[in-house]
Amino acid sequence: MPVILLDSEGGILKFQVFKNGKVTDKCDLNGAYLFGTDGVAIRGADIKFIDGFVDCNKPNLQTAGLVLPWEVQGEGKVLLATTCLPERERPYNLNVEIARGKLMQIVTKREDWSLFNSDTEKISANAQQLFIRALNNISDMSASSMFADEALLQSVQFSEKLAVQQAETALKERASARGFSRGCFGCQIDPIRITEPAYIEKLTQLFSSVIIPINWGKIETTKGQYNFADIERCMTVLSNKRMAIGAGPLLCFNHSELPAWLTSGRSSFEKVRENAYKFITQIVERYRGTIRNWIVISGLNCQNHFGFSFEQILEMTRAACMAVKAANEKARKIIEVQNPWGEYYASISGTIPPLVYIDMAVQGGINFDAFALALNIGTDGKHINIRDMLQISSLLDYLSPISKPFWITKIGLMNEPLNQKGQASVPSQNQNWLNELYRIALSKPFVDAVVYSNFADRVNAANGLVTEKLEYKEVFKNLKELRKRIFQQ
């Protein structure tokens, strides 16, 4: 079959999209990207929706898969992927290819986990039979899409159960072996609310470790002058609590977290490194007797305001860890990796894939103790980053051979829209999602801690475990029960 070529080097993938058996006139491409056989997002691709078709213009002829937000009936919208496909003249049926991608993932993980029983066999067989009917009707694109949609629904529901089932087994084994540290339940705190007795009292009911947020740009607003008021407020309250105290990230190269005096003009790499080293030295030396866990650097794989080169990214990471070690030899140094699926790499220059950054940190002779994996799951209003439980569990399994422990950070309830009264509800589906995420993350023996992002709701964010008035949510009670269960095995 002939291949459609854009030019001598590029190619095109074309998908027809159906909804309820009819060609649709809408398709959400926010956050969509192509990836290659190595799983890395393809840079330079152009993805458009035109008259019922998704056209994916690729910069090369390699086979590729498509990731995009996909509405699953009754389950909401989630980022799902096709398998890697070659170019062809006839358009692919996107509904069929999305279902194929999910079924392939299920088959792979069932084999990895050796999860075969009568219940899972029945559900899996039903989904597979529906997919076979979709393939048998492939000449009738409409009918094929209907069977594919049914197969996908059953596959997504089954994949969630599969991931949780595997996690439950592993969680029990880890609990029985007393494989959890006291600080495995952590939370980032709000320095503004830390002085409220009710806030700290309810926080300590669930969490045994905390992270104090650090923003270099707010602490050193004038070069060489440091305002540690927020940290001091936290330390005053936490000093007499039996909690493991951490802080960070010390460095984040997002514009909003850098000092204005450093970003206002042209700053060489050497100048940025020198000032970063001084800042880290100041803060770590100041709290060397009380703060042991430091998130040293965060998101340099995808947030690179100064446009550092690959070598400079590695050098900045190394220098930051060296500064912490020089200021406190006993400090635990943690490198935080943002957006671990690497979708940003498709569209943002000056970035590197997350697994490349992880590998270069391990292989580059950097002295550090752990990685933090910032999941950032949710939506920012423009882009969606919502993954299902099997995708999350699969990602963690993929990282298991790395010779460093992991923390899971930047997690929370997905933001709920406020109603006309300015209130936000957290549906049971959202609560269950978080509970399942905790079980999956903590079931992995190399995950040392899970750090919740926001304990209490804020004015425009209802993603806390308690309301803005510090009233318990059901999800708080569920996580407390989980914590009790794993420490009483």
Structural tokens at position 280: 């880290």
45 vs 60: CA distance, rounded Å: 9
Higher pLDDT, 122 or 389: 389
- Measuring CA to CA, how many Å separate 431 from each of 75, 81, 273, 434, 447? 14, 25, 42, 5, 22
Q: For the chain, how long is the longest CA-to-CA vector? A: 73
Strands 11-16 and 92-93: parallel
Residue recorded with tokens 């398709």:
27
**Residue 380 in this model has a pLDDT that exceeds 90:** no
| Burial category of 7 from C-beta neighbours within 10 Å (exposed 0-12, middle 13-18, buried 19 and up) | exposed
Q: What is the pLDDT of residue 427?
A: 40
Question: What would you report as the CA-atom Rg of the chain, rounded to the nearest whole angstrom?
Answer: 24
Neighbours of 2 (CB within 10 A): 7
Return the DSSP state at 484.
H
What is the C-alpha end-to-end distance of the chain, expressed in Å? 60
Residue count of the chain, please give it. Answer: 489
Q: Which amino acid would we find at residue 69?
A: P
Which domains are assigned to the chain?
11-170 (no CATH), 182-487 (3.20.20.80)
If DSSP codes are grouped into helix, strand and coil, which group holds residue 18?
Answer: strand
DSSP state of 219: H
Q: Cβ distance 334 to 299 under 8 Å?
A: no
Q: In this predicted model, which residue has the larger pLDDT, 411 or 2? A: 411
Rounded Cα distance between 50 and 264, Å, is 42
pLDDT digit string, tens, across residues 420-438: 333 433 344 566 888 999 9
pTM for the model: 0.92
Angle, helix 94-113 to helix 118-136, in steps of 10 degrees: 150
Torsion over CA: 16, 18, 21, 23 (sign):
negative
Q: Could you tell me if 54 and 94 are in contact, meaning their C-beta atoms sit under 8 angstroms apart?
A: yes
pLDDT in tens, 292-326: 999 999 999 999 999 999 999 999 999 999 999 99
- In terms of average pLDDT, the best of 354-368, 411-425, 427-441 is 354-368
User: Which stretch of 49-58, 70-79, 147-156, 242-251 has the lowest confidence by average pLDDT?
Assistant: 70-79
